[in-house]
Structure 1
């Protein structure tokens, strides 16, 4: 109940304030711009939060929602974004939507292209600001998969990849080909709509490997912090071990944690502060 009341308070402040400014207390306030278009498609929208009264900004958190690649909305992560803003007052935040897949459209490369377009938009938008042009991709579930894939995959023409400072992976599938992920309730949709298998790629890489974050991990992959639920019935905990192994093998700085509960429990009142504190600690060691 306390979390719900706090969320309602935050939303009331956002939607009632004519100047689109939110005051989070402790001298922390952000200017807000909602539903900015970063592309021509109606789904290509983002909410942008920029700290007020800051001489310099350390970077931009880019929040990528989940929803099985075919559902979800940036509004699902508004509360968590606001909670992050309290902890990271020296960062800007962009909470993004992206084109959703359906039976007539594919997940890739549309959704990673949208991340790239959003980052490009943010760089152009903040070019005159005193801001470090580095990004931290923070994704949940399918959004975590996309965040990892965008950051690791060198086949996609993602021009802003080199500006990724770190990846925050919250219950994201890291290996879609592993037998444990094939128990996913909507696996058939993912298998058919992840990437167009009828179109050949200009490499010797199989199309099925293209969508797999672990396949692309190398010594130059960005530092990654991950969180998985102890009783997650959507993304099995075993995905944590698979990802840890690939990152460690390639000597990529990484940490991973197990929280108590299922797929949605990372954001509850007990686990959310834990995640945010661990993210803060992790980033202190990233140059």
Structure 2
């Protein structure tokens, strides 16, 4: 019995000594804070990675996972976040969860409000002068663009966005090429809370579409789309490119071989990360 208790205590001690530093190679390490609370809801959590032994950070990546607005988890982007951290060791990274939509709740304004709340939490921690890079995939990319371009919902940190990184995100949900999306019927009913007040010259169909909000003050944007994506059609790339170019927004967009999830495979991930790194150098 004593031996059993000793083993149990050892397990408890070891579990309490979880490594709080992420080492990514020579002279690259980050302090890690997991499941940090930024709101009262159980889904309002984030993982935070802060460059170790640095007086300040270049900027802050906010990683926004996909999952069709009603599924997914920040853990889906953990390994991609770590890969980015290795390439961009001067940035802090916040990998976030947000309130998911369901039969009794809506995508908007909950999810853009959660991004705003995260940015407020980070601005308090790092200082009000820090700029943010919003990076999302799929539904998370849609939210990244919508927050970066749309000032409708009284978003307090809207003007702190340095850049948007859009990975396979739908830029125009009203375009006919998106009508075959598997959860389109759910989105029609649960994209926006109809009780949310909007200006009289808008309809609730306009509000969720990033391309509608692009203007000459929108943040620089880099995009990636798969040439065989069966979820978000490749044609969304040209729709977004056209709107950004029309408004004179610095942007880059790239095609990768494969489908909706293939941006993160062994072949495409280094390409995506290298392009993000180069893009950030251009907008300093």
Q: Same fold (TM over 0.5)?
A: yes
Conservation of the 8 A alpha-carbon contact between 1:227 and 1:256: yes
CA deviation after TM superposition for structure 1 residue 27, in Å: 0.9
2:143 is equivalent to residue 146 of structure 1: yes
Residue from 268, 274, 278 that aligns with 2:275: 278
1:111-163 deviations in Å (ceiling 9; x for gaps): 00000000000111223xxx961000000000000000001012111110111
CA distance in 1, matches of 2:272, 2:193: 35
Please list every run of 5 or more consecutive structure 2 residues that lacks an aligned counterpart in the other structure: 1-14
Query: Which residue is equivalent to 2:122?
Result: 122
Query: Which residue is equivalent to 2:39?
Result: 39
**CA 1:36–1:147 in structure 2 vs 1: closer, same or farther (change >3 Å)?**
same
CA distance in 2, matches of 1:253, 1:17: 46
**CA 1:164–1:200 in structure 2 vs 1: closer, same or farther (change >3 Å)?**
closer
TM-score by length of 2: 0.92
For the residue of structure 1 that corresponds to 2:259, the secondary structure is coil
2:248 is equivalent to residue 257 of structure 1: no
1:7-22 correspondence runs (5 A): 18-22=18-22
TM-score by length of 1: 0.91
1:5-44 deviations in Å (ceiling 9; x for gaps): xxxxxxxxxx896341011112100000000000111110
1:77-116 correspondence runs (5 A): 77-116=77-116
CA RMSD of aligned residues (A): 1.4
Equivalenced residue count is 270
Stretches of 4+ moved more than 6 A in 1?
Answer: none
Conservation of the 8 A alpha-carbon contact between 2:109 and 2:193: no
CA distance in 2, matches of 1:252, 1:202: 25
Please list every run of 5 or more consecutive structure 1 residues that lacks an aligned counterpart in the other structure: 1-14
2:208 is equivalent to residue 205 of structure 1: no
Query: Which residue is equivalent to 1:9?
Result: none
CA deviation after TM superposition for structure 1 residue 204, in Å: 1.2
